[in-house]
Each structure stands twice: as C-alpha cells, then as structure tokens.
C-alpha cells in the first residue's frame, strides 16, 4: 500500500477527515458494539462526557 493509498478516518461526531497516520492522536471508543473515532477537537470539547462513559448521542 503506497502513501497515496492510506486509509481515511472520519470523526464520528463532526465529520472531520484525516489520514490514518494523522488520526493516531484521536480518541477511540466502542458504543453499542460499534467503534467510534473522535478528532482531537471533539475529544477535548467533550472530555467530561467521555470520562463519564456517556454515549456520544448525549454530548
């Protein structure tokens, strides 16, 4: 797989997209058996809800 073929990751909250390597700092969660990925901006804005283990629909 070449550099141009790298996977794109999408934030489950705001829809921001980044390459998989740029998304290494993103937060990953499992909600109702489904993996969710959240960008740094959304993660910081919703940190307390994440620590309280609230599903993203409650943010």
Give 1-56 pLDDT, tens digit per residue: 455 668 999 999 999 999 999 999 999 999 899 999 999 999 999 888 888 877 77
How many domains is the chain built from?
1
Please give the residue range of the domain that contains residue 20.
3-58
Using a cut of 0.85, tell me whether the model's pTM lies above it.
no
Residue 58: per-residue pLDDT = 72
The C-alpha torsion from 43 through 44 and 46 to 51, rounded to 10°, is 80
Q: What is the 3-state secondary structure (H, E, C) of the chain?
A: CCHHHCCEEECCCCCCEEECCHHHHCEEEEECCEEEEECHHHHHHCHHHHHCCCCHHHC
């Amino acid at each position: 797989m070449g550099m141009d073929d790298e996977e794109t990751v999408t934030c489950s909250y705001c829809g921001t997209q980044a390459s998989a390597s740029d998304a290494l700092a993103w937060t990953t969660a499992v909600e109702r058996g489904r993996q969710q990925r959240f960008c740094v901006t959304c993660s910081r804005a919703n940190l307390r809800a994440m620590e309280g283990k609230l599903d993203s629909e409650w943010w």
